[in-house]
Structure 1
């Protein structure tokens, strides 16, 4: 990709790569083992200005674009998929508040960018994941306040967040047209954090369930129009899918690099296993699909930067990249043989971490539905 990215993008990529190789990768196993939010790593990313990479300069960001954000995500996720996941949250929060928030909400952006304010987003519920329109969390209007009641599941950063953007029904009888987004400070009475979830992979993200027991917030905490948050969420999902695609891409790239290195070092039947055609074919397929995924992601990101709709392209990038990453990380583990099953090798962690990418930000079955509907409209 060196030939088609700008000098500025190359400089930011190199900065992210240096951080990933020298700071993140050496502690990735510790983060995975301890399953504790790595605040030091989070602040290191903030200090380099990475959280504002796609945010306009007049909003306090670097004034770059979605393509650059995808490049940074790939590099960070090469070092740790979990840290890549952590990188995406403030990037998306700052963009969301800048696009939809009031001047009051935008005052949070500097803190999000420098890491002093940790934000989270709460959409999914225990009984409602992909079916966002059926959520049951209610925000009823009482004078100049909203009173929020309900539970949210799988809230990334839920244990450590200072503020949460909560999606709730302000008109329970109007389906997806009755959903609003409300900013909730976590020190308000009635906000209850559950225990940290014990997950297969993606450790260190302080993920938990959050219960809202008659939590009162000012009406001014409403982000965007009342009953208009479903459309806001769907638009945000498009950018989020580019981030998740790039995260899976970074992990697949790391797996391929590890597989190649191991195949050169490992000797069987008197020669390095890289010299066997069976191994070469697996690595060739990795290289092919990783290159194709990178092009799909950057194409969708470029369209996003041009202000074009990308529901189709974001779904295609997310579906292809996360599916291929799952396959090729598994094949990279296979190349490692029994060693790949050991936590002494990074591939074991990559194998666990990448599985979430096919579920997160819309399952890959949902992506297929989106693609089919979009293509059906195009060629009807």
Structure 2
């Protein structure tokens, strides 16, 4: 790996830093309290090119490599993990189409995202979380169409997206062998969003259930072959997991920076708490963990950009960075003491936001199984 970033990468990183400092960080606590992204921010994100980061150049996107995208998501994670999650959901939803979509499907998906609209990836159901083979949403062939019926839950951007990748089972009781992906537009008859989740963290992001009641979808909107959905989903998650790691690293860095600043200002026993060795040890551990997580994320992205196998490294990066986010943000609260527990300061928000990193896009327990399978088989 070359640890020297290109001038273009450095310029994009700086642009993201400046955007986050102006448009996101000052409003993060306000958006967390309101449980939604503030008015006008979607348009500003789009104007800054933050919503279509994974769109290839041939489809009027920026055509960025994975490492550059990770640099941008790290900066977004520093500002607000909820906003970062909202934007990253566009990347997650775009990958099934990149992996197995037709030219028509790519034109459709990327035109929506390029227009500044949101996309959603809908795999999870009330009875199917880590077990994708348990997806109960059905896709019944009817002439040149499929009829979709079922319910999805915990879908990021579910209530505000314009286009969705929906996973359904096209072969009754076939488990993962029947899983099939479809491209579905908002406004399709029978398709609606349901309950919005009142979440512990990433509260600025929209998370809700989706209801499919006899939703008719043309076969031309099927992504890949019938029964190919599981493979498409796994390739998608491999591609997207380093970005969860990048957001986790940004979240860690923000919590760490705040804890360092506070430790230099807060005095006890007549001197700053930063002078106490136990506090210094906590800060040193936090710094080491963040650096290790960042390098694992960069490695996974670099391998992806080299077009070599990277699934193992993708799982390692996501798992380690997410665990680090939970550890570092918890330690940041500890450094602040009682003030860390107060919603007047951002430390407790960082801690609440961090927990989801260990859960979504494959729990960290699932990541460990992926890693073990790569070791043993």
- TM-score over 0.5 for the pair: yes
Deviation of 1:204 (Å): 2.4
Deviation of 1:343 (Å): 0.8
Cα distance in structure 2, aligned partners of 1:153 and 1:52? 24
Deviation of 1:258 (Å): 0.2
Query: Structure 2 matches for 1:77-226, cutoff 5 A?
Result: 77-108=77-108, 109-115=110-116, 117-226=117-226
Cα distance in structure 1, aligned partners of 2:104 and 2:3? 42
Q: Which moved more, 1:290-299 or 1:98-107?
A: 98-107
1:370 aligned residue: 370
* Contact 2:37 2:83 (C-alpha < 8 Å) held by counterparts: no
* Contact 1:120 1:163 (C-alpha < 8 Å) held by counterparts: yes
* Contact 2:77 2:84 (C-alpha < 8 Å) held by counterparts: yes
Cα distance in structure 2, aligned partners of 1:63 and 1:270? 55
* Contact 2:86 2:206 (C-alpha < 8 Å) held by counterparts: no
TM-score (norm 2): 0.96
2:281 aligned residue: 281
Deviation of 1:189 (Å): 1.9
Question: Secondary structure at the residue paired with 2:182?
Answer: strand
2:330 aligned residue: 330
Cα distance in structure 1, aligned partners of 2:194 and 2:276? 51
In the alignment, structure 1 residue 303 sits paired with structure 2 residue 303: yes
Question: Secondary structure at the residue paired with 1:107?
Answer: helix
1:18 aligned residue: 18
Deviation of 1:314 (Å): 0.8
How many residue pairs end up in the alignment? Answer: 376
In the alignment, structure 1 residue 354 sits paired with structure 2 residue 354: yes
Deviation of 1:57 (Å): 1.3
Deviation of 1:184 (Å): 1.5
Cα distance in structure 1, aligned partners of 2:163 and 2:77? 25
* Change in CA separation of 1:39 and 1:87 when aligned onto 2, cut-off 3 Å: farther
Question: Secondary structure at the residue paired with 2:205?
Answer: coil
TM-score (norm 1): 0.95
* Change in CA separation of 1:93 and 1:372 when aligned onto 2, cut-off 3 Å: same
* Change in CA separation of 1:69 and 1:261 when aligned onto 2, cut-off 3 Å: same
Could you give the per-residue CA deviations for residues 167-203 of structure 1, whole angstroms, max 9, x where no partner exists? 0001123321211111122212212321211111111
Deviation of 1:60 (Å): 1.6
Cα distance in structure 2, aligned partners of 1:321 and 1:347? 18
Deviation of 1:350 (Å): 0.6
Q: Which moved more, 1:312-321 or 1:29-38?
A: 29-38
* Unmatched tracts of structure 2, length 5 or more: none
Could you give the per-residue CA deviations for residues 277-334 of structure 1, whole angstroms, max 9, x where no partner exists? 0111111011111111111111110111111121110111111111111011100100
Question: Secondary structure at the residue paired with 2:63?
Answer: coil
Cα distance in structure 2, aligned partners of 1:122 and 1:50? 21
Q: Which moved more, 1:143-152 or 1:156-165?
A: 156-165
Considering only aligned residues, what root-mean-square deviation do their CA atoms show, in Å?
Answer: 1.6
1:236 aligned residue: 236
Deviation of 1:113 (Å): 2.5
2:6 aligned residue: 6
* Contact 1:193 1:209 (C-alpha < 8 Å) held by counterparts: yes
2:264 aligned residue: 264
Cα distance in structure 1, aligned partners of 2:41 and 2:91? 15
* Contact 1:179 1:226 (C-alpha < 8 Å) held by counterparts: yes
* Contact 1:300 1:313 (C-alpha < 8 Å) held by counterparts: yes
* Contact 1:193 1:211 (C-alpha < 8 Å) held by counterparts: yes
Could you give the per-residue CA deviations for residues 200-247 of structure 1, whole angstroms, max 9, x where no partner exists? 111122211111111111111111222111101101101221111111
* Contact 2:322 2:357 (C-alpha < 8 Å) held by counterparts: yes
Deviation of 1:55 (Å): 3.3
Question: Secondary structure at the residue paired with 2:187?
Answer: coil
Deviation of 1:2 (Å): 11
Could you give the per-residue CA deviations for residues 356-377 of structure 1, whole angstroms, max 9, x where no partner exists? 0000111111111111111113
In the alignment, structure 1 residue 312 sits paired with structure 2 residue 312: yes
* Contact 1:42 1:87 (C-alpha < 8 Å) held by counterparts: no
Question: Secondary structure at the residue paired with 1:230?
Answer: helix
* Contact 1:121 1:156 (C-alpha < 8 Å) held by counterparts: yes
Deviation of 1:111 (Å): 2.5
1:43 aligned residue: 43
* Unmatched tracts of structure 1, length 5 or more: none
2:31 aligned residue: 31
In the alignment, structure 1 residue 251 sits paired with structure 2 residue 231: no
